[in-house]
Amino acid sequence: MLEVARILAGQKMDDFCLRFVSFTQEETHPIFYSRLFKKRLELGLVDKKDRYLRFHTQQLVKNFLKQFWRLISTGRSYIEGAKLTFEIFKDDLDEREQAYFSYL
């Protein structure tokens, strides 16, 4: 794809605009992350620069992700890992955090 973009960049094409957008399988889809950011912002968990507003929430997300990846590494599916991790942490979540993690 990069080679095609390089060749097309050298061509004279005034009639239309062509854009290349890509991501690898190691990355998550950018729209997925955009929706998560909007949800965090909507719930008041982060500011417009995606910084957590409470230390408790920041630590909770960090520990949640650590536990989630630990479960995934044992062979569980992403959905199963998310559900199990939510069950582990649900008693520590306030109402907004529960809404966010159940959105995942």
3-state secondary structure at position 63 = helix
24 lies in which domain range?
2-103
pLDDT at 7: 82
71 vs 63: CA distance, rounded Å: 12
pLDDT band at 4 (very low <50, low <70, confident <90, very high): confident
Q: How does pLDDT run across 37-91, given as a tens digit for each residue?
A: 999 999 999 999 999 999 999 999 999 999 999 999 999 999 999 999 999 999 9
Q: Which is nearest to 64 in space by CA: 34, 36, 41?
A: 36
Task: Evaluate whether 60 touches 93 at the Cβ level (below 8 Å).
Answer: yes
pTM above 0.85, yes or no: no
At 6-49, the pLDDT tens digits run 887 777 777 767 777 776 666 667 888 899 999 999 999 999 99
pLDDT on residue 57? 94
Structural domains in the chain (count): 1
DSSP per-residue letters across 76-99: --HHHHHHHHHHHHGGG--HHHHH
pLDDT at 61: 93
